[in-house]
Structure 1
Amino acid sequence: MASPTSLVTELRPVTSAVLTVRIIKNFPFRTAKNLVLRDVDLTTTTVGQLMDRCRDAIKSQVGFKHYRTVALDTIKKYTVAHGHKSQNLIINLDNDEWILSDLDQTLADAGCENETELSFFNRQAYDEFKAHPETRWD
């Protein structure tokens, strides 16, 4: 049994982690939907496999119907459990070194742990938004 002071990251083994992935459709309008993935083995799952798992969920889950036309090609860490969150509600515009560009790297080696939050998006749209980070409501 876990002690009352155990962190949520310590309550599940790295072989059965829970990840939250923000599937981002549009940066200026902040259109995104969360995909919660359970029982992810961070020691064997690669960045490329995670992308494939997310794409499969988008194709098969009804709630992601409007996200199927987006060319999702990049994953970036948003925050790890108990870490500082960005002021931007949709993506962390700082720390471009958090972009997981090595598709063969395991998630554990990329610094992911239980309750890590990630963003999955189109890199070209991200670069355009980062150059002019203005949100829209119209």
Structure 2
Amino acid sequence: MQWLFVATGGALGAMLRFFITAHLYPVMGNRFPLGTLVVNVLGCFLVALLYIVIIEKAMLSPHWRHLLITGFLGALTTFSTFSLDALTLWQNGAPAMAILYVLANVVLCLAAVTASWYLVNFVLS
């Protein structure tokens, strides 16, 4: 049943991501990825809200975590999970690890995108 919750939430999150980015694209075009920024900020706002309501306060059944956090927000943006993980490290008394985690994600992900860009262009040229 958990798989169904994740899949349903994922479908809804992916559709919302597409809707937001498609409607914000005309605002900035290729000059700035406004849609991506909006979904990342929205996802980060929602992940904290849902985490408190579902996990910390247990105001909703744990099944909602699979639907809303893992599925919906996972498809909307993984930046929300990244941000929550960094905050959790910090709040658990590991600020150096939190900073390392943030830097490693940013640097390694930019490096991965760059490597892939050049590799694919090399192979396809």
| Fold in common (TM above 0.5) | no
Q: TM-score, normalised by structure 1?
A: 0.27
- Normalized per residue, the structure richer in helix is 2
Q: TM-score, normalised by structure 2?
A: 0.29
Q: Max radius of gyration: which structure?
A: 2
RCO comparison, higher one (Cα < 8 Å, 6+): 1
